[in-house]
C-alpha cells in the first residue's frame, strides 16, 4: 500500500488561532493512525491528512470521504455551512468579518466521533451528511428536501417497530419525537402540531416526484417552511445524539 498526502481546502466562516496538528484513527476494516494538520487561510482552513491507497485517485476519494464525514459532524455542531474542495478552487461567497474560531479539541472530536458514528450508527452519519448539504445549498427547494431527509434517516431506523409505525414514515417520525420529547404537547418547534408532519412529508413527496409545479409561490412557501424544518431537524438530531451519547 502506498501512502499519500492529501490536502483539502475548507471554505466557510471559520478560522483557527494557530496551526493545529494531531493524530487520529482512519479507516474501518484496516484502520491506521493518520496525521492531521490544519492551517488557516483567508477564506477558511486547509486540512492535510495521510491516506493509504493504490493510486492517486483512490487517495483523493479516501481523503474526501474521511474529511467529509468529519465536516458533516463539525458543520452540524456549529450549525454553519462548510464547503470542501480538493483542487483548492475558491467557492464564491460574501466575506464576513466575524468567524467562528474552531479549537483543536473540536477538530479531534469531529474526526473521532464521525468515525465512530460511521461504523456504529450509519443512519445518523447519513443524516449529518444531509444536514450539511442543506446548510450548503442556497436553493430553498433542495435545502428543504435535504433537511427533511436528515429527519427521515434517523426516524426510519430509530422508531419502534409496531403496528402504528409500520404504516409509514410519518408515524415513525411522530414515534421518534414522542420517544425524545415525551408527548406532542412537549415537542420542540412544532408543539401540539402533529398534523404538520403529514403536511411536510406530503410536500416533500410532491416536490420529489414532480407532482406540484415549481413556481414563485411554491418557492416562497418553502422558504417559510425551510427555517422550521431546519430547526426541527437540528433539535431532533441533536437531542438524539445527546440521549444516546453519540
Per residue in 202-220, pLDDT (tens digit) is: 999 999 888 888 889 889 9
Per residue in 125-172, pLDDT (tens digit) is: 999 999 999 999 999 999 999 999 999 999 999 999 999 999 999 999
Q: Please check the confidence at residue 42 and state whether its pLDDT lies above 90.
A: no
Percent of the chain with pLDDT over 90: 86
Tell me if 188 sits within 8 A of 181, measured CB to CB. yes
The span from the CA of 194 to the CA of 169, in Å, is: 13
Per residue in 168-197, pLDDT (tens digit) is: 999 999 999 999 999 999 999 999 999 999
pLDDT at residue 244, rounded to an integer: 93
CA dihedral 187, 69, 207, 185 (to 10 degrees): 0
Per residue in 50-78, pLDDT (tens digit) is: 999 999 999 999 999 999 999 999 999 99
pLDDT at residue 200, rounded to an integer: 96
The span from the CA of 41 to the CA of 125, in Å, is: 28
**196's grid cell:** 404538520
Per residue in 19-38, pLDDT (tens digit) is: 999 999 988 777 889 999 99
162 Cβ contact list (under 8 Å, min separation 6) = 175
Amino acid at each position: 500500500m502506498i501512502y499519500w498526502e492529501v490536502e483539502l481546502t475548507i471554505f466557510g466562516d471559520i478560522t483557527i488561532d494557530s496551526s493545529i496538528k494531531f493524530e487520529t484513527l482512519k479507516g474501518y476494516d484496516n484502520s491506521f493512525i493518520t496525521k492531521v494538520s490544519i492551517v488557516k487561510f483567508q477564506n477558511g482552513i486547509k486540512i492535510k491528512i495521510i491516506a493509504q491507497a493504490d493510486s492517486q485517485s483512490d487517495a483523493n476519494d479516501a481523503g474526501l470521504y474521511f474529511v467529509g464525514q468529519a465536516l458533516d459532524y463539525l458543520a452540524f455542531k456549529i450549525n454553519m455551512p462548510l464547503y470542501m474542495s480538493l483542487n483548492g478552487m475558491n467557492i464564491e461567497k460574501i466575506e464576513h468579518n466575524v468567524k467562528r474560531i474552531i479549537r483543536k479539541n473540536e477538530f479531534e472530536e469531529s474526526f473521532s466521533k464521525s468515525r465512530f458514528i460511521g461504523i456504529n450508527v450509519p443512519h445518523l452519519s447519513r443524516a449529518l451528511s444531509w444536514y450539511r448539504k442543506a446548510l450548503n445549498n442556497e436553493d430553498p427547494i433542495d435545502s428543504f428536501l435535504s433537511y427533511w431527509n436528515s429527519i427521515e434517516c434517523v426516524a426510519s431506523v430509530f422508531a419502534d417497530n409496531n403496528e402504528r409505525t409500520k404504516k409509514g414514515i410519518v408515524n415513525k417520525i411522530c414515534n421518534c419525537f414522542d420517544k425524545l420529547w415525551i408527548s406532542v404537547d412537549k415537542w420542540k418547534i412544532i408543539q401540539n402540531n402533529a398534523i404538520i408532519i403529514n403536511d411536510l412529508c406530503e410536500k416533500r413527496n410532491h416536490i420529489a416526484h414532480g407532482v406540484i409545479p415549481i413556481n414563485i409561490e411554491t418557492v416562497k412557501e418553502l422558504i417559510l417552511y425551510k427555517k422550521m424544518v431546519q430547526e426541527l431537524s437540528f433539535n431532533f438530531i441533536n437531542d438524539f445524539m445527546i440521549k444516546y451519547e453519540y
